[in-house]
Amino acid sequence: MTRVGSTERARSAGAGFAGAGAGICLLKVGGASLGRIEVGSEPTVVVHGAGPQISEEMARRGLEPRFVNGRRVTTPEVLEIVRESFAAANAAVCAAIGPRAVPLDGAEIGLAAVQVPELGLVGNPLPCAPPAIIGALAAGLVPVVSPLARGPLNVNADEMASALAVGLGADRISFLTDVPGLYRDGELVQSIGADKAQSLVAGGVFDGGIVPKLLAAALAAKNGIAADIGVTAVVA
């Protein structure tokens, strides 16, 4: 289990939610980590992926996954699989969290993104603070958000989590993965600067799924949000 939140950020007993920015923690959960979630006392928003599930279903239907810098090229046929997989993943995350969880389809609640034509039905997310998320937090609930934007557009879950963290004015964002943290040259990195992370990505030092995580964490850090990928802190 991974606990969201920390004692120094926990709200005092009886404290109410004061709106966007009130000690919010953003948790991004990867498709391989859907059953390992435990939410603490602070206001928490969960954004989930479903990468392994999408790829598995694509293979079952005879479709070959294609990625560009960790983002899935999405045709209309692939988008159908994405939506089905997100719905199943959302239900699994809600079940893991329990009765406080509120399932939210990102496209339905108005998540915003700009389409990236070369990737198909894929969007670059824009910071936003959807009323459905703020309302759920105000009610003491845990919004569980699938990373679809209006269109609908498929949005990388790491990028969507970071954009939401910025839009909501979150205190913290954590990327829960199936690895302990960021590795470089076989060594587990305890801390990395946002600028350094971006330059290493630009230089091709990293590839695959860690790329959007690292860039998303760097964006959050540069906006004053404490960011971590497993044990690796990404700092401004």
- What the chain holds in terms of domains, given with CATH numbers, is 22-235 (3.40.1160.10)
Nearest Cα to 54, choosing from 27, 90, 33, 80? 80
Strands (DSSP E) found in the chain: 2-4, 25-29, 37-39, 44-48, 67-68, 71-72, 101-105, 113-115, 123-125, 142-146, 148-149, 153-154, 172-176, 183-184, 187-188, 191-193, 226-229, 232-235
Give, for all 236 residues of the chain, the pLDDT tens digit: 333 333 233 332 233 455 566 699 999 998 666 666 778 889 999 999 999 999 999 999 999 999 987 789 999 999 999 999 999 999 999 999 999 999 999 999 999 999 999 999 999 999 999 999 999 999 999 999 999 999 999 999 999 999 999 999 999 999 998 889 999 999 999 999 999 999 999 999 998 888 999 999 999 999 999 999 999 999 99
Given this model, what pLDDT does residue 70 score?
76
Pairing of strands 44-48, 37-39: unpaired
CB 23 within 8 A of CB 4: no
Q: What is the pTM of this model?
A: 0.88
Write down the pLDDT at residue 36. 67
Residues in the chain: 236
Amino acid 3: pLDDT: 37
Encode burial over 186-203: b for 16+ CB neighbours within 10 A, e otherwise.
eeebeebebeebeebbee
